[in-house]
Amino acid sequence: MQKEMNIYKTSDGAIQVDVNIIDDTVWLSLNQMAKVFDRDKSVISRHLTNIFKNKELDRNSVVANFATTASDGKEYKIDYYNLDAIISVGYRVNSKRGIHFRKWASEILKTYLIKGYTINKNRLAEKGLQELEQTLQLLQKALVSHQHVDEIGEETIQLIANYAKTWKLLLAYDEDNLKVPTSGKTFSKELDYITTKKAIESLKIDLSSRNEATSLFGNERDKGLESILNNIEQTFGGEQLYKTAEEKAANLLYFIIKDHPFTDGNKRISCLVFLLYLKLQNITVKFNQNGLVALALLIAESAPSQKDIMVKLTINLLVD
């Protein structure tokens, strides 16, 4: 639980309140809200009761019980309400002080989030995708729900949130910091050489019927395909060299593209064999055909020294 304290003051200096920032949101007690909105505590309490009664907010999601040291020096457990609850009350109170506080709280929260993640740039990489997505969701909530963006801005934020994995992978790729995911699927079956050859022949017939392949398409050189299929199943010291089905699939795609086991059509055949292997392992492809084309071209244009990063990128695209 992260905890920071900010001091809120009205422009005329009439009110000063210590505001808790815990778990990336603002928290105030009932007494503090009464002070901020310049309303009696019973009024604030009544508003909160109606908010929860009407199911505008879920009480369990916006209320937390924190230990607080009172003026007598003793520690007591007191209910605190987060920014969503505070703003809901603020709109009901609709006082000038309420408007002022809403602007201040939203700005403080945005600054806290953005500054905190900018200073500690490695935090996202260390904590992973889940924290990045949570941060984006929180920023989206703070900006959209509190009316700090227009419709275009809201669509942009939603787009960023939906493609959280994209930004993370691009950052890791740019910084040469892609990691092989620790999770992965256990492989169930080997891809049979004869079955694979038949699939390639079917692809050749289909493409030839549309004048998209020559007689050279799919002609295997020196059992190159068979060698690659055996390669991804190789063991060392009695253990599989490639630990997961995703890792095997990524290496399979890479080897067919880069080793050119066929006279013609290596990129198209690599995509077919890659998809065949994923289907065999019951792995859902997470990207569409355009994404697969882009990945194949990226691998084809990559330098041999970039093999590891190409394989890691493919694995990351396959693993949730």
Beta strand pairing status for 235-236 and 239-240? antiparallel
Tens digits of per-residue pLDDT, 209-232?
Answer: 989 999 999 999 999 999 999 999
- The answer to the question of residue 256 being in a domain is yes
Q: In which residue are the tokens 């603020």 written?
A: 90
Tens digits of per-residue pLDDT, 40-84?
Answer: 899 889 999 998 998 888 898 889 888 776 667 777 788 988 878
Q: In sequence order, which residues have a C-beta less than 8 Å from that of residue 72 and are 6 or more positions away? A: none
CATH number of 303's domain: 1.20.120.1870
Tens digits of per-residue pLDDT, 2-43?
Answer: 455 555 555 655 556 666 666 667 788 888 888 878 888 998
Please state, in angstroms and rounded to a whole number, the distance separating the CA atoms of residues 274 and 196.
10
**Considering 92, 112, 133, which residue would you say is the last residue of a domain?**
92
- The answer to the question of residue 49 being in a domain is yes
- The answer to the question of residue 37 being in a domain is yes
- The answer to the question of residue 66 being in a domain is yes
Tens digits of per-residue pLDDT, 267-298?
Answer: 999 999 999 999 999 988 877 778 888 889 88
**Considering 92, 108, 141, which residue would you say is the last residue of a domain?**
92
Q: In which residue are the tokens 């694995």 written?
A: 315
**Considering 46, 71, 92, which residue would you say is the last residue of a domain?**
92
Q: What is the DSSP letter of 188?
A: -
Q: What is the DSSP letter of 284?
A: P
Which pTM was predicted?
0.52
Confirm if 219 and 262 have CB atoms less than 8 A apart: yes
Residues 197 and 314 in one domain: yes
- The answer to the question of residue 233 being in a domain is yes
Q: What is the side-by-side order of every strand in the sheet holding 3-9?
A: 3-9, 16-22, 25-29, 75-82, 63-69
How many domains is the chain partitioned into structurally? 2
Whether the per-residue pLDDT at 141 is higher than 70: the answer is no
Q: What percent of the chain has pLDDT over 70?
A: 65
- The answer to the question of residue 62 being in a domain is yes
- Rg of the chain over Cα atoms, rounded to whole angstroms, equals 29
Whether the per-residue pLDDT at 247 is higher than 80: the answer is yes
- The answer to the question of residue 128 being in a domain is no
Range of the domain at 247: 193-318
